[in-house]
A and B are shown apart, each in its own frame.
Chain A
Amino acid sequence: MIEFLNSLQNSLIYKNFFLVLSGLDNTILLLLISLPLGFVLALLFALGRVSKITLLSRTIASYIFVIRGTPLLVQIYLIYFGLGSVKFIRESFLWYALKEPFWCGVIALTINTVAYGAEIFRGGIQSIEKSQVESGLSLGFGKFLLLRKIILPIAIRKVLPSYGNELILMVKATSLVSLTTYMEMTGIARKIMAKTFAPVEAFIAAGILYLFLNFLMVQFVKYLEWKYNPHLRLNN
């Protein structure tokens, strides 16, 4: 047993695991900023999408169309390489954010998740029964109160499973930011691979960490579903 543990400690996969682990905080940092920001913006965009102002609704619809029709990699590259090549952006205050691969990643991920999230929330908002809104109106709710007390809670809990899917896709999407020289888990795994010429060991170490991260995300979404759907719990 001890011999086995010793050989495990000397194995490449064990060493790589801790090297890749040092990139975990960078991955989580990306998520911690882009997910909450994406959530709030997606809700606002969804409300704009279903609003009766045609111009607003159309603009948001075309934004969603463009973002969902192009790969995330193009969006990341456009922000990191594309915007950086424009002279007046380089001279403006935006350059403070855009020269950092981290902020480019955050911006690209947020832009991406807002489009997908807005579409998911729109589905939730449109699936609310009219009678619920009408009963709110008959109680004298104003527009804002109606939104806060009836529309948003019902819509959000209805779409939690599909929004959970989007969250997991976002965890996976953070790996693309490594292509802008940002050193998160995939970037470190790639560097290890280049140093040791042992691709399988490096990427499996990273894969295990991503699986773990996604496992946590799934549990988090499950907890939210349990919390916000008390009427669906079997025994309470």
Chain B
Amino acid sequence: MFKFDKLVFGDAGWGDEFLIATLMTLLVSILSMGLGLFLAIITVWAKIIQNRITRFIANFYTTVIRGVPELLVIYLIFFGGNAVVMSIAKVFGYNKYIELNALTIATIAIAVISATYSSEVLRASYLAISKGQIEAARALGMNKFSIFFKVISPQVIRHALPGIGNVWQITLKDTSLISVTGLVEIMRQSRISSNVEHSPLTFLITAAILYLCLTTISGRVFKTLEVNYSKGFST
């Protein structure tokens, strides 16, 4: 039933393939988490500045993406992304066929999803900063730039870390959906291997264990970070 001998490293088994696939999952997760945080900062900024249009766009984006299945978003970006990029390129006078590679599409798709969750976390933690602090910084003559980096960001990071940890877990698990685009990460690798070896149970359980390890280890990392960032606070 469970074929351990198929999981050895080298040509006889799938061990090394799974190692590369795990690294690919990690790479996609980290890249899309980073891009997602960047998008989330822009979304939060669009929501908190007093501008109806940007706020409407940001709210529309987060509501729609969070109300639609992740798989649908991935399909849309995977199948529709090339056309969009090509039409943008056409505006700039580039008429050749462009094909984005799977990693880029995967990163963008997962980032678009992860950004909506991150933006809620970041917005809540921004609102948790008392207004007096920003006013005090302004009274000291700090400019917008240093207020953001020296007053707002350190506190937002501390407030947001537990929530960001949750978003990371969601993002990590969402990368399994990327397998439908053909990018070889853990899920895709387990499907390929089980098709070759006719033993789905072995490789799917392997995939489950790998995901479990990834989520557990990264959970520990976030716990350590939380302790580190809340030094001096009795929370």
A residues at B contact (CB < 8 Å): 66, 68-75, 77-78, 81-86, 168, 171-176, 178-179, 186, 189-190, 193, 199-200, 203-204, 206-207, 210-211, 214-215
What separation, in Å, do the CA atoms of A204 and B201 have in the docked complex?
35
User: Do residues A74 and B208 form an inter-chain contact, with CB atoms below 8 A?
Assistant: yes
Is B64 located at the chain interface by the 8 A CB criterion? Answer: yes
List B156-196 residues whose CB lies under 8 Å from chain A.
Answer: 173-174, 176-177, 179-180, 187, 190-191, 194
Is B112 located at the chain interface by the 8 A CB criterion? Answer: no
Given A78-B204, A199-B76, A173 and B69 contact (CB-CB distance below 8 Å): yes
Which of A68, A74, A81, A204 makes the CB contact (< 8 A) with B176?
A74
What separation, in Å, do the CA atoms of A171 and B68 have in the docked complex?
9
Which of A66, A172, A190 makes the CB contact (< 8 A) with B70?
A172
In the complex, chain A residues whose CB is within 8 Å of the CB of B69: 171-176, 186, 210
Which of A74, A172, A189, A211 makes the CB contact (< 8 A) with B75?
A189
List B187-227 residues whose CB lies under 8 Å from chain A.
Answer: 187, 190-191, 194, 198-201, 204-205, 207-208, 211-212, 215-216
User: Do residues A203 and B76 form an inter-chain contact, with CB atoms below 8 A?
Assistant: yes
In the complex, chain A residues whose CB is within 8 Å of the CB of B200: 77, 81-82, 84-85
In the complex, chain A residues whose CB is within 8 Å of the CB of B141: none
| Residue in chain A with minimal CB distance to B200 | A81
Which of A70, A73, A172 makes the CB contact (< 8 A) with B68?
A172
How many chain B residues sit at the interface, stated as a range, is 35 or more
User: Do residues B76 and A71 form an inter-chain contact, with CB atoms below 8 A?
Assistant: no
User: Do residues A207 and B72 form an inter-chain contact, with CB atoms below 8 A?
Assistant: yes
Is B57 located at the chain interface by the 8 A CB criterion? Answer: no
What separation, in Å, do the CA atoms of A105 and B146 have in the docked complex?
52
User: Do residues A203 and B187 form an inter-chain contact, with CB atoms below 8 A?
Assistant: no
Given A69-B211, A71-B211, A82 and B204 contact (CB-CB distance below 8 Å): yes
Which of A70, A84, A86, A171 makes the CB contact (< 8 A) with B211?
A70
User: Do residues B68 and A211 form an inter-chain contact, with CB atoms below 8 A?
Assistant: yes
User: Do residues A175 and B71 form an inter-chain contact, with CB atoms below 8 A?
Assistant: yes
What separation, in Å, do the CA atoms of A211 and B60 have in the docked complex?
12
User: Do residues A189 and B72 form an inter-chain contact, with CB atoms below 8 A?
Assistant: yes
What separation, in Å, do the CA atoms of A171 and B215 have in the docked complex?
24
Which of A66, A71, A86 makes the CB contact (< 8 A) with B187?
A71
A104 to chain B, nearest CB (A): 13
Q: 26 interchain pairs (CB within 8 A)?
A: A69-B211, A69-B212, A69-B215, A70-B173, A70-B211, A70-B212, A71-B176, A71-B211, A72-B173, A73-B187, A74-B211, A78-B201, A85-B198, A85-B201, A86-B201, A172-B68, A173-B69, A178-B71, A179-B71, A179-B180, A186-B72, A199-B83, A203-B75, A203-B76, A203-B80, A210-B67
Is B94 located at the chain interface by the 8 A CB criterion? Answer: no
